[in-house]
């Protein structure tokens, strides 16, 4: 599918690919744009605010899982997604599929997305999406370093995530487009999300990973 132009002149990031695999004509992954990262982080942030207000109102706590930290990481969601995209070269299709996986997980487990579990769910879902759709993907140790967790914890979260999804990782083209449209509305609705500074696409991922720790429970 060719990249379409929006009425306001922006590129429609949802039209970057017909397939969740997200490979360009050269066979290389399509890079994610700053706008995509901004939209995804905004969607997650709004969901977390809503969920945490609800939990507070109900005076209840979410069930603690392997994805929960003892406290919210200092790195914001937007920065964390940007970090993952920057070092792993996971493009727009991979991020959308990861978003779908998180949605499936939350529905299956009847769980809430909160500031305590969003970071680990993000690094795990993005790694699973990348490995399922790209045979040349980085290994768990690499993703663990990017995500700020140990390899042991990364392995444990991957197994838990896959088990909770019943290992059903396939995303149909229709489901992919439906979620793309959902995110499209988030980005081009009444309150469009501003562009984040920087290039619209990443030519390559960085060779060295800056240190970061996402502390566990």
Question: Is the model's pLDDT at 170 over the cut of 90?
Answer: yes
State the chain's maximal CA–CA distance in angstroms. Answer: 53
3-state secondary structure 18-45: CCCCCECCCCCECCCCHHHHHHHHHHHH
Residue 69: phi and psi, rounded to 5, are: -100, 165
Say how far apart CA 96 and CA 99 lie, in whole Å: 5
Structure tokens at 100: 């779908």
| Residue 210 is assigned to a structural domain of this protein | no
Q: Taking Cα atoms as reference points, which of 4, 12, 3, 2 lies closest to residue 185?
A: 12
Say how far apart CA 92 and CA 139 lie, in whole Å: 20
| Residue 89 is assigned to a structural domain of this protein | yes
Please tell me the predicted confidence (pLDDT) of residue 15. 46
Q: Mean pLDDT over all residues of the chain?
A: 78
Cβ contacts of 24 within 8 Å, gap of 6 or more: 17, 30
| Residue 217 is assigned to a structural domain of this protein | no
What's the CATH code of the domain at 35? 1.10.472.10
Look at the chain and report how many structural domains it folds into.
1
- 129 to 33, 49, 92, 120, 122: CA distances (angstroms): 18, 26, 11, 14, 10
Domain containing 115 equals: 16-22+29-187
Please tell me the predicted confidence (pLDDT) of residue 38. 87
Q: Residue 196 class from Cβ within 10 Å (0-12 exposed, 13-18 middle, 19+ buried)? A: middle
Please tell me the predicted confidence (pLDDT) of residue 202. 40
Question: Is the model's pLDDT at 125 over the cut of 70?
Answer: yes
Question: Is the model's pLDDT at 190 over the cut of 50?
Answer: no
The arithmetic mean of pLDDT across residues 74-102, rounded, is 92
Please tell me the predicted confidence (pLDDT) of residue 109. 95
Cβ contacts of 110 within 8 Å, gap of 6 or more: none
Q: Which residue has the higher pLDDT, 20 or 184?
A: 184
Question: Is the model's pLDDT at 10 over the cut of 80?
Answer: no
| Residue 112 is assigned to a structural domain of this protein | yes
What confidence tier does 25 reach under pLDDT thresholds 50, 70, 90? very low
| Residue 202 is assigned to a structural domain of this protein | no
**Alpha-helix residue ranges (DSSP H) falling in the chain:** 34-58, 77-88, 92-109, 118-133, 140-147, 151-164, 173-187
Q: Taking Cα atoms as reference points, which of 160, 163, 129, 162 lies closest to residue 143?
A: 129
Please tell me the predicted confidence (pLDDT) of residue 101. 98
pTM tops 0.85: no
* pLDDT tens profile 36-66: 888 899 999 999 999 999 999 998 888 899 9
Question: Is the model's pLDDT at 68 over the cut of 90?
Answer: yes
What confidence tier does 32 reach under pLDDT thresholds 50, 70, 90? low
């Amino acid at each position: 599918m060719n990249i379409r132009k929006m009425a306001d002149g922006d590129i429609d990031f949802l039209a970057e690919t017909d397939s969740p695999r997200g490979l360009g004509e050269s066979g290389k992954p399509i890079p994610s744009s700053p706008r995509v990262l901004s939209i995804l982080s905004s969607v997650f942030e709004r969901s977390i605010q809503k969920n945490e207000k609800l939990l507070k109102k109900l005076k209840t706590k979410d069930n603690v899982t392997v994805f929960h930290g003892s406290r919210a990481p200092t790195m914001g969601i937007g920065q964390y997604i940007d970090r993952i995209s920057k070092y792993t070269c996971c493009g727009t299709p991979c991020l959308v599929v990861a978003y779908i996986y998180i949605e499936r997980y939350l529905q299956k487990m009847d769980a809430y997305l909160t500031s305590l579990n969003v970071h680990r769910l993000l690094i795990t879902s993005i790694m699973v999406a990348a490995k399922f759709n790209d045979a040349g993907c980085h290994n768990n140790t690499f993703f663990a370093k990017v995500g700020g967790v140990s390899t042991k914890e990364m392995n444990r979260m991957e197994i838990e995530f896959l088990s909770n999804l019943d290992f059903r990782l396939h995303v149909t083209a229709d489901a992919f487009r439906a979620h793309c449209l959902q995110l499209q509305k988030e980005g081009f609705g009444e309150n469009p999300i501003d562009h984040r500074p920087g290039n619209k696409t990443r030519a390559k991922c960085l060779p060295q990973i800056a240190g970061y720790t996402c502390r566990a429970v």
